[in-house]
Structure 1
Amino acid sequence: MNLVRRPGWAPVVLSYATFVLVGLSAGVAGVLIPAQIADYRIDEATIGITFFTTSAGYLAAGATAGALLHRVHVRMALVVGAVFYAAGAFAMAVRPSFAILVAVQLLVGYGTGILESILNVFLAELPDSTTLLNRLHAFFGVGALLGPLLAAWMLQYTSWTAVWLVLGVLCLPLAAGFLLAYPRRAPAAEHAGAERPRGVFLEAVRTRAVVLGSLFLIVYVGLEIGVGTWAFTYLVKEHGEPDVVAGYTVSGYWLGLTLGRFLISPLATRAGMSAASMATACLLGVTGASALLWAVPTASLATAGFVLLGFFLGPLFPTAMAVTPQLVPQRLMATAIGVMNGLSLLGGSFLPWLAGWMAQHVGIWTLLPFALTLSVVQLAVWRLLVARTPAPAIATPGG
């Protein structure tokens, strides 16, 4: 049973707008760090504490999203996420002490995690789920591209706190939209297992598909963020590219990722490919682009290679979310997506750190074999994930 059979256009548009906000939030963070360091008179290691509290909130959201959805259904679960996010944003907007700044990252992380998990669950149960989810995550990319521009422009005229004030204000109409546009009643599917949410969580984390899906997303996010974080350093140190050119190349990588989410799924639908086949083709593209970058390390090919790498990476995360309803029982679906979404952040924290450690102790050239290794691991885990599922059970990208 679908969570919502005929949602209309408003909930879907609100989903996309919410992911633009989440992308904006991610995009402004790096630009604001120098201003925060100067304001609080701290160093890079100290400001890094905020990354851990944000991650803790995000992981807590992944662990509790399923139970929250069972208790209060989609509409109110999204309101809860928006309230937590806005509370954290407004708390930072008043320039709290550094200890409180660290603490309120829990609110932002939890609110972001709830919004992401619930919207992934909501769209995963709709017709054309793979296309819808790819567009959803593409709009995250739109926000991530615009976020640094917004923050850099605002910092010319005001303080870093004003940026968070704007983000908090932008969240308020979304919360109102959730109340108006999403269904008021909870479908029966949302209540499956509601009387024993802890049991559902434990069953989900022991399920083979959830374990493999979480591992796949951990590796995926580690690869995506690891390359995005260290590509600039690689291009400058290995190829001697000017900072401006290297910066444009990294922007091209993120633009490629966003375009891949907008374009590949519709093209796969026209070709009659299943979601699993589309993801496999993208994984082969990721592996090929990584191998090309390593085997032919010239500056001109590096730019094209990074754009291609981003393009083929783009659909993988949303497609994994889209096939989850076909891989786990209905009663576990919401919790499974929440757990997978939450644990993916582990890859985004540890694997980019590992890439940086190797760059420091071995050399930045290790970024490309690092990317190639992770791409091969991704492909292997994906094949294990879908191997025991009959082909017809994996929906086509268009449905």
Structure 2
Amino acid sequence: MTHSPRTSLEAIQRSNTKSTPIPRILVADNEAATSSSVDLSKSLAIDSALEVDADGVLPPPPSSDRIRRRSELRQKPVFTGEEFELPVLPSLPEGLQTPPLQVHASGIAPGHDDIELASGFPSTTASSVHMEDTSSTAPVLSPAEKAQHRWKGRLHFFALCYCTILQGWNDGSTGPLLPTIQRYHNIGFAIVSLLFIFNCIGFVSGAMMNVYLNDRLGFGKVIVLGAACQLGAYVILSPGGPFPTMCIAFSLAGFGIALQNAQANGFVGNLKNAQAKFGFLHGSYGLGAFIAPLVATNFATKERWYFHYLISAAIGISTTAVLLYVFRLKNQDDIMVEAGHAVAEVDNTRENKYKQIFGLRTVHLLSIWALIYVGVEVTLGGWIVTFIEQKRGGGTSAGYISSGFFGGLMLGRIALIWLNRKVGERRIMFIYAFLAIQLEVTVWVVPSLIENAVAISCIGFLLGPMYPILMSYCTQILPRWLLTGCVGWIGSFGQTGSAALPFATGLLASKFGIGSLQPFVVSMMSTMILLWAFVPRVRRVD
């Protein structure tokens, strides 16, 4: 549509009362332009229709009462008036539509009342253009590669769960065998409790050495070393040697379990959906602790009760072989890449890692909480058999009550994952601990074998989710690049509770009788609630 210069000038003066400078636009001459393209230099007709000064600025409009002064208008950035060229797109094949283009120069958008500009610009509205970074270095994986990554990830997780089963087997075996060990070696509560002390020494040694060994040897070698130490302990125990030999073997087993526990928790903490995976990982511990009393109770009535450790050694051989085959002594980063997982940040500073880890107040708080929790767990699973035998007249079959406790532990860690998410990890811990205390009081004051057995199983069900929640919570509030060291220390130091609290129970039992077990456990559970109240809320620290 063609308009006279006078019509164009009047239209521009009516619509552009702000005297906004209009840039001169030069369009490159290109014979390859499409027939539908409009020659902007002709359609605009700016030079012929308007009198523009050398700087490309329009003269001010005539004075009018209906036109506001420039000072009353909102200031806008002034276009410098520099000339620029719009590149002309090459012609496209016939029948292929080009997307509409909307041009804005110095903040000027063409309006419908601006006759000359509106006719010069395309009349259709441009579609939104989203610029995306196409320079990503992430490789495009084929379906076969994705399936291979999934298979590797599941294999890694299975291997960790399998070694955790043996850890549960170790803790679940001791309780039913304690009365038999006392009779076999003719020792009392205080002396037999030395097994827990030497176990504690092994745990502490493993916790202290874990960070150093992890930096020197890497994940694959350290976890296989831990499994080999645990296997060696069962080989020493299987002949039924003197009591000092048992103490040395328990110390070696504690060292190996501490290394495996630290590496497994640190590895899973770096995976996606770690909360649910922690539930299954520690549910595997509950599975081993559930099966072990069933087997140990049968051996407890035999003359050669120590043959139970031959079965433990056989499981230890298979565990070492699985870890060696799956991880092949590789470091954690290489294993993560195999399964398509993101590699955790690495600390490039020279600062001592021990100093950094032990400088975190939260680490010490969680370590003490873990010590009490694991101590309560193993104390109940171990000494409850002696309590039921002497106080409730349960006989040698009382070992099955220990199995019920660890069975509840296993179920709680898997079945209550949804409730933990729904209520919140921090809040649900208070609820579980409070309910467990109420049930423990009933075991203390109600002289019923059946009620005590049911209550112990329910206590295991409530205590079960607590440890996976602790590990998951660590991944949310501790620095990511220190996670393996922190979680390893918390887990390993917590395992010392499996020796310290049962030993304290043995000392109390030797002086006040086994009836002191229940008030001691209730006091420890109450301390857990108090300590958890001081644990900081979730706040990612990187």
Q: Please report the TM-score for the alignment, with normalisation by the length of structure 1.
A: 0.80
Name whichever of 81-90 and 44-53 sits farther off. Answer: 44-53
Aligned match of 1:205: 358
Cα distance change on mapping 1:157 and 1:105 into 2, 3 Å: closer
Q: 1:274 matched to which residue of 2?
A: 424
* Superposed displacement of residue 69, structure 1: 2.8
Q: Which protein, 1 or 2, shows the higher relative CO under an 8 Å CA cutoff with sep ≥ 6? A: 1
CA RMSD in angstroms, aligned pairs only: 3.6
Matched residues in 2 for 1:248 and 1:86: separation?
Answer: 25
- Shift, 1:350, TM fit: 2.8
Contact 1:23 1:142 in 2 (8 A): yes
Q: Taking structure 1 as reference, are residues 47 and 242 closer, same or farther at Cα in structure 2, changes over 3 Å only?
A: closer
Give 2:405's match in structure 1, choosing from 247, 253, 258: 253
Please list the CA deviations of residues 278-308 of structure 1 after superposition, one character each: whole Å capped at 9, or x if unmatched.
Answer: 3233223223323444465554433332222
Deviation at 1:90, TM superposition (A): 4.2
Aligned pair partner of 2:156 in 5, 8, 11: 11
2:261 matches 1:116: yes
The two structures have a TM-score, normalised by structure 2, of: 0.61
Match of 1:221 among 352, 358, 374: 374
Provide the C-alpha distance between the structure 2 equivalents of 1:42 and 1:233, rounded to a whole number of angstroms: 16
Equivalent residue pairs, number: 381
Question: How far apart are residue 71 of structure 1 and its match?
Answer: 3.7
Cα distance between partner residues in 2 of 1:318 and 1:102: 30
Amino acid in structure 2 at the alignment position of 1:175: L
Letter in 2 for 1:69: N
Aligned residue in 2 for 1:397: none
C-alpha spacing 1:36/1:97, structure 2 compared with 1 (3 Å) = same
For 2:432 and 2:491, how far apart are their aligned partners in 1? Answer: 20
1:354 matches 2:504: yes
- 2:391 pairs with 1:265: no
Structure 1 residues 230, 24: CA separation in 2 closer, same or farther (over 3 Å shift)?
Answer: closer
Q: Which stretch of structure 1 is more off in the superposition, 148-157 or 315-324?
A: 148-157
- Select between 229-238 and 93-102 the one with higher mean Cα deviation: 93-102
In 1, the alpha carbon distance for the partners of 2:434 and 2:482 equals 30
Instruction: Please give the alpha-carbon distance, in whole angstroms, between the structure 2 residues aligned to 1:212 and 1:184.
Output: 29
2:219 is the alignment partner of 1:74: yes
Any gaps of 5 or more consecutive residues in structure 2? 1-148, 337-342
Once the two structures are superposed, residues 215-249 of structure 1 have per-residue CA deviations (whole angstroms, 9 ceiling, x without a partner) of 111111222222223333444444x4432674443
- Structure 1 or 2: larger helix share? 1
| 1:177 and 2:332 are equivalent in the alignment | no
Correspondence 1:122-141 to 2 at 5 A: 122-141=267-286
Residue 342 (structure 1) aligned with residue 342 (structure 2): no
Deviation at 1:126, TM superposition (A): 1.7
Structure 1 stretches of 5 or more lacking a match? 395-399
Per-residue deviation at 1:10?
A: 0.7
Please name the residue that 1:61 is paired with.
Answer: 206
Q: What residue number does 2:460 align with?
A: 310
Task: Please say which structure displays the higher CA radius of gyration.
Answer: 2
> What whole-Å deviation, never above 9, does each CA across 1:180-225 have from its counterpart, x for those lacking one?
59766277637426855xx222332232111110111111122222
User: Do residues 142 (structure 1) and 287 (structure 2) align?
Assistant: yes
Which sits farther off after the overlay, 328-337 or 8-17? 328-337
